[in-house]
Amino acid sequence: MAIFKFDDNDVFINTLESYPEYSFYIVNGSVYIDNQPNLSGSHDNHYLGALYSGAPVLGVPEGYISLYEKNINRGSGSIIYPLNPASSSHFVDTEAITKMGPESEYQIGSRRQSETDATGSLIRAYVIKDGPKNSIKVVDNPTYNTAYQFGDRIETRYKLSASISQFYYATQTGNRLTGITGRIPWGIKQYSPGEGNYTYTVPYSIQGILDKYSHRSPHFKMVTEAPLPVRDLAKAEMCLIDIPSIFYGKKIKPGTVELNYFISGSLIGTLKDRGQNGELIQTFLTSSSDPRRPNTSGSVQGIVLYSEGVIILTGSYEMADHGTNEIVYIKNDGTATGNERNKWTHFGSGMHQNLPASNVTLPSASFEIKYQGISQTPTMMVMAHAKYGQLNWSNNPTYLKQGDLNLDTSTISNYRYVQQDVKITNTGHTILSGSIPVEQKRETYITKVAIYDDKRNLIGVAALANPVRKTEDRQYTFKLKLDL
């Protein structure tokens, strides 16, 4: 086997940047990712049509993506029932035999296969408790020390999922430190440093993140003043949409965000960040002859935090004629808002919630989010060269002439032997016929290119779709690309 070392000009490290498109469609409490339906399958614990009950293919709630996708449409399997110690025979459990078959007679001391999956059918991540004290992040130290013995298997689920979230906050009044609670942009927490110490009221806020974007637009200020619409994110009515980073990568690409608001299938409003500065500008609004409805076309109705995947909508203006299209929207805590007119602060209402049958108006409202993410993938490209006069010998038995594989030896003395000459298979060809001999050439067929590290450990193999004929008067360069 020939081994060659890569030169400095043979290895290239690059970063591939792509802009994948994403979309979310929200209607009647359901979320559809990239316009894909929620398919039914063989899973338990999550059912289509009723949240957390049914059998989606991915094994996670509808409207979510599976992080690992390890158990696609994996069935529930068979439960191993423990043997009945009160049975007349310690080797036979009538109930187990009835449910599992006669083979259960031999399952002495049988138990459920997993603590995280009672059926024992799903792929699970696990470690064995041993001397180095390897564990899983979700298992804290007290549990690790008391609940598991050395040699026990510590498991966790692969059913990790992600989806977008919506938070609606009504207008609040009061002092920021005492009267504003339960809001992500601004709120308070009770903090106790330790036993015997005082409990402190500590404010928390996303003001620091907003300050990072303040150079883009004055709309990113926590409190805006005239001539801008006056509002305080700690108190004003608003809607916050959180998008996990798995749906955009490094960050959301500026200038690609689009929000569409539908009523009974008809578009009534559109927001876009056409300035690429994080301002969500109303680019479309249905016409109206009602003088009481303000014309908000071209106005800023929200902001986008590109790196954090957060959309904040503050537009509380009515988008329909006064007294029409009143809908009972749902807050993120599941409570109803009462009859209210359509406005951007209700965008995504009812997301991931089972709507009560009595709410017959909200299903008429639907919402769409579209944008592009920025995904950066480090790549390594290497050039493997097959130069003139090289790689023309093979250890493959087919390289030798048939009939010369079982080599005879001629003994000359008691201390040495002479091996007979071995002929190479002549794979050359000619268009001439008759007794004209074909010229003998050393040639091979390259089928794979292997990559080794500096300690000669195999780290990758590239297989060619078709073998490449290599003669002494030919040279090739194979370009191999690997995503890191």
What six digits make up the tokens of 73? 């449409």
| Residue 330, domain member (yes or no) | no
Q: What is the pLDDT of residue 275?
A: 93
Can you tell me the distance from the alpha carbon of 276 to that of 301, in angstroms, rounded to the nearest whole number? 15
Given a contact cutoff of 8 angstroms between Cβ atoms, the answer to whether 100 and 81 are in contact is: yes
Cα–Cα distance measured from residue 100 to residue 80, given in angstroms and rounded to the nearest whole number: 8
Please state the pTM of the whole predicted model: 0.73
Q: Give residue 276's pLDDT.
A: 94
pLDDT at 177: 58
Q: Is 22 helix (H, G, I), strand (E, B) or coil?
A: strand
For the beta carbon of residue 76, count every other beta carbon within 10 angstroms: 16
Helix (H, G, I), strand (E, B) or coil at 32: strand
Residue pair 154/144 in contact by the 8 Å Cβ criterion: yes
Task: Provide the token pair at 305.
Answer: 């935090």
- Residue 66's CB: how many other CB atoms inside 10 A? 18
Dihedral pair phi/psi, residue 452, rounded to 5°: -120, 155
With 0-12 CB in 10 A as exposed, 13-18 as middle and 19+ as buried, what is 230? exposed
Q: Is residue 382 in a domain? A: yes
Range of the domain at 475: 377-483
Q: Is 60 exposed, middle or buried (0-12, 13-18, 19+ CB in 10 A)?
A: buried
Q: Mind listing the pLDDT tens digit for each residue in 48-90? A: 344 434 567 887 888 899 888 887 877 654 344 444 455 444 4
Domain assignment present for residue 89? The answer is no
Q: Which residues contact 11 (CB under 8 A, 6 or more apart)?
A: 380, 381, 382, 383
Query: Longest Cα pair distance anywhere in the chain, in angstroms?
Result: 117
317 domain-assigned: no
Domain boundary residue, one of 197, 212, 236: 236
Domain membership flag for residue 66: no
Residue type, 144: Y
Residue 20's pLDDT is what?
96
97: DSSP letter? H
Q: Flag whether 311 is in a domain.
A: no
Spatial contact of 273 and 254, defined as CB atoms under 8 Å apart: yes
Residues in the chain where the model's pLDDT stays below 70 = 42-55, 75-121, 174-182, 186-205, 290, 292, 321-325, 332, 402-421, 429-436
CB contact set of 337 (below 8 Å; sequence gap of 6+)? 168, 170, 328, 329, 330, 331, 346, 349
Residue 121 near residue 157, CB atoms below 8 Å: no
323 backbone φψ class: left, alpha, beta (φ>0; ψ -120 to 50): left
Is 394 inside any structural domain?
yes
| Continuous segment of H or E residues that includes residue 202 | strand 200-205
Domain stops at, among 199, 214, 236: 236
Report if residue 166 sits inside a domain: no
Q: From 236, 257, 287, give the residue that closes a domain.
A: 236
Indicate the number of domains in the chain.
2
Residue type at 184 in one-letter notation: I
pLDDT digits (tens, 9 = 90+) for 122-148: 777 888 888 777 788 878 888 888 888
445 phi, psi to nearest 5 deg: -125, 115
pLDDT of residue 47: 38
